[in-house]
Amino acid sequence: MDVQAMLFLFLGGLGVFLFGIKYMSDGLQKTAGEKLRKILEAATNSSVRGIFAGMLVTMLLQTSTGSTVMIIGLVNAGLLSFRRAIPMLLGANLGTTATAFMISFKIGDYALPILFAGMILIFFFNKKRINNIGQVIFGFGMIFLGLNTMSEGLYPFRDVPAFVDMMATLGQNPLLGVLAGTGFTMLIQSSTGAIGVLQTMAVDGLVTLEQALPILFGDNIGTTITAVLASIGATVAAKRAAMIHVIFNVTGTIMFLIILPIVQAVVVWMSANFGGDIAREIAYAHGLFNSVNVLLQFPLIGLYAILATKVIRGEDDIIQHGPQYLNPALIQQPTFALEKARQEVVHMGTLAKENVVHSTNMLLKNDAKEGERTIRKEEIINDLNHEIVDYLTKIGVRSLNQQQSSMNSLLMHNVTDIERVGDHCENLMELSEYSIAHKINFSEEGTKELEHMISVTSEAFGQALEALEKQDLEAAMKVLELEGQIDYLEKEGRKSHVQRMNAGICSGASGMVFLDMLSNLERIGDHASNIAEGVIQMNREEYDPASGGME
């Protein structure tokens, strides 16, 4: 076999292998994506739980790259503090050991039947969930088909003098081995892939265990590059999390290089007692590296957090997920329970108000990160919607007086209005996204009109929340006044746009986005008005003896 054919087999096998990991990961996220997200979020209460959550998600996704990016994404969105992300990043490293052990078994002999089983589920069933499971199985088969193909291409390299000399040089200098492993993992952006290639090379006799260990340790450094890339342009907290991920793996590699002969001896002992070829020995080494690393560095999490805070300065902006005020124990006391519900509705409304800014800033400041913040907060708003409605429903089945019943009904309507505001913010984000993707620019006059309407709309919604929170009639009346301004600005904006269109200043594409943004802002104003009118009506009932309220 000539060098070209060997190279083509290796590259083709690597491509199938990496695509299999990605395809299986996508299938798993479709099958249990929401569950994975909730596992990550639930793990914030305990460092030990965080390690297990990070490990579990990585084992499911079959890639620490994917789970690391998910964790950094949660930190960047403000849903997870970087301190609580640290154990999850440690767990992500542990999770990669499962893949190394799977590769060390002879599952590759069954790659084609696995692919066939996945194909059956994808093409012969109509249920989406079964199709997604089929995608997982098909991707799993592709992983091992890719490994087999790589092995076929790599095996003849054992007789190529230049390659043998290069590996011998790496074996004599562990630091070069670490650099080689780091560089290769950075190149293919997958430690799972790099370790799979290393195991294949070892089975084909291209590297010895002594040569493979430093390369393996380098793979663990290379995988941190993904976290670094994910944190570029991200929040301060995300940068800190990525920095700690790098410190953790670099420190572990240094420790293991110092005791390299001992590590090799332990791995050989494990192989002699528990069985396995050199691929299994690499899996043992990988498991040993990550488990010992976690045990030794787990007590240093606090120290790492302090170090990252000192090196990367700035505010750690965290968004609390889930209800902040609802207390199920108070449901039997409707007056107190309704007050807690009102506080939660205001909290939900505050997130929606922030999304008005995020979704429009995405366009005005050409900042894609604002779109990510909009999506994350919209997820929280939707969750709060369900939680608050469920809470109010449980209050509603109890015996309520007229005033309590009116408040319960008002809060139900408020939740609906705020949830709709969140939807309009999502529309604004999508319009901003479309404008950025298609390089749509507004005229200077159009931009000023839009900025003014955003400002008035944001003020109106803020006043509505204040009216609800404090039962402030003056704030509620201010909302009605501002809502009139919003209606006027929308009409004038449409007229001005038509004039600019006729003058050739604005294009049809920019006009479509501009008018849709005005429309969504006007609808947000309507929902702010609904909240304010509810407060006004509630106050009238409260002080009107004829309504059964207070005298």
**pLDDT score at 314:** 67
**Which residue do the tokens 């292998």 mark?**
17
Arithmetic mean of pLDDT, 541-546: 52
User: How far is CA 302 from each of CA 44, 221, 252, 297, 388, rounded to the nearest angstrom?
Assistant: 15, 21, 17, 10, 36
User: How far is CA 390 from each of CA 253, 415, 426, rounded to the nearest angstrom?
Assistant: 50, 11, 24
Class of domain 330-547: mainly alpha
Q: How far is CA 443 from the centre of its chain?
A: 35
Q: Quick one: which of 182, 261, 262 has its CA closest to 215?
A: 182
Q: Compute the C-alpha angle 482/514/458, nearest 5°.
A: 30
Euclidean distance between CA atoms 241 and 238, whole angstroms: 5
If you count them, how many residues does the chain have? 551
For residue 532, pLDDT over 90 is answered with yes
Kindly report, residue by residue over 242-301, the tens digit of the pLDDT: 888 888 889 989 999 899 889 889 988 988 888 778 888 888 888 888 888 888 888 888
Q: How many CA atoms lie within 13 A of 354 on its CB side?
A: 18
Across the chain, mean pLDDT equals 81
**pLDDT score at 476:** 92
73 contacts 36 by C-beta, under 8 angstroms: no
Kindly report, residue by residue over 181-192, the tens digit of the pLDDT: 887 777 666 677
99 contacts 115 by C-beta, under 8 angstroms: no
DSSP per-residue codes, 392-405: HHHHHTS---HHHH
- Helix 3-42 crosses helix 128-154 at what angle (to 10 degrees)? 140
Range in 66-80, 167-181, 375-389, 443-457 the model is least confident about: 66-80
40 contacts 66 by C-beta, under 8 angstroms: no
State if pTM tops 0.75: no
Arithmetic mean of pLDDT, 99-108: 65
Range in 17-26, 70-79, 513-522 the model is least confident about: 70-79
Kindly report, residue by residue over 47-87, the tens digit of the pLDDT: 788 888 788 777 766 666 666 766 776 676 666 677 778 88
136 contacts 162 by C-beta, under 8 angstroms: no
Query: Please, which pLDDT band fits residue 425 given cuts at 50, 70 and 90?
Result: very high
Euclidean distance between CA atoms 320 and 317, whole angstroms: 10
Q: What are the φ and ψ backbone dihedral angles of 6, each rounded to 5 degrees?
A: -65, -45
Residues 6+ apart with CB under 8 A from 414: 345, 349, 468, 531, 534
Q: How many CA atoms lie within 13 A of 393 on its CB side?
A: 6
Euclidean distance between CA atoms 386 and 365, whole angstroms: 33
- Assigned token pair, 162: 């230049």
Euclidean distance between CA atoms 190 and 194, whole angstroms: 6
Arithmetic mean of pLDDT, 102-116: 76
223 contacts 64 by C-beta, under 8 angstroms: yes
**Domains of the chain by residue range:** 3-311, 330-547
Query: Please, which pLDDT band fits residue 486 given cuts at 50, 70 and 90?
Result: very high
